A and B are shown apart, each in its own frame.
Chain A
């Protein structure tokens, strides 16, 4: 671990343009220590925020869902709550890629905009990282009768 206790040395090394107003949101600037956030933290927040938007059926595309099923069995390789979400996390910024399946009947452009807004809000508010981009790829549309699970199971006609 690099120990830069003397912040003055660090400041000298940073170009002038970068010192100024960049918000020190993770409180690491005055020698009090750094806050680091693991990437699966950002993954989880982004996944939850995307899923809670109405019109998103599931996260993950065909391929990532197929691999996800295998990945869940590998310790430390991520879980269903992070399926379809990949992130890059730096010290101050994060970039997020989402694969998702939408409900049939949703306006995909509007939905993507809403998901992007919700994800950015959630990640920025909860982690203090600046989200520089959210790339959304819609992998499939879920039709209402795709797997029969949407309507209530047909009841027996006789009692």
Chain B
């Protein structure tokens, strides 16, 4: 994967992940370290190299394995057949953002 395409790819992965209703937001973990660094900006919560990592905050009322499988499917559709690591960083309910 060339550097030119990486930005576009992580953007598309980010959009695909956020399209899932169970996902509140992308989150880079402690100190926001899970991120793709691009010229002029960075995409937090997504990395794409020989494997893809997405790091998310989920809604509180969803079973995590099912959501992870759904996310993996969504990412696979835009990113192709790479191993996809899903990291669940936190949970939030709509009412009380904790």
Using Cβ atoms and an 8 Å threshold, which residues of chain A touch B25? none
Which of under 10, 10 to 19, 20 to 34, or 35 or more describes the interface residues of B? 20 to 34
Which residues of the other chain, B, contact A79 by a CB distance below 8 angstroms? 98
B30 touches A33 (CB 8 A): no
Cβ of B13 under 8 Å from chain A: no
Q: Is B60 an interface residue (CB 8 A)?
A: yes
Within 8 Å CB of A45, what residues of B? 60, 91
* Chain B binding surface, main DSSP class: mixed
Mark B35-73 against chain A: 1 for CB-CB distance below 8 A, else 0.
Answer: 000000000000000111100001010111100110010
Question: Contacts A27-B68, A41-B91; is A36 near B86 (CB within 8 Å)?
Answer: yes
Contact with B along A112-142 (1 / 0, CB 8 A): 0000000000000111100000000000000
B65 touches A35 (CB 8 A): yes
Cα-based distance from A33 to B81 in the complex (angstroms): 11
A31-B83 in contact (CB<8A): yes
Q: Which residues of A contact B89 (CB under 8 A)?
A: 38, 41
Query: Interface digits, B67-98 against A, CB 8 Å rule (1 contact, 0 not)?
Result: 01100100000000011111111110000101
Q: Flag if A33 contacts B51 (CB, 8 Å).
A: yes
Query: Given A33-B85, A34-B85, 14 other A-B contacts at CB below 8 A?
Result: A3-B50, A31-B83, A33-B84, A34-B83, A35-B65, A35-B85, A35-B87, A36-B85, A38-B29, A41-B90, A41-B91, A76-B30, A80-B98, A126-B62
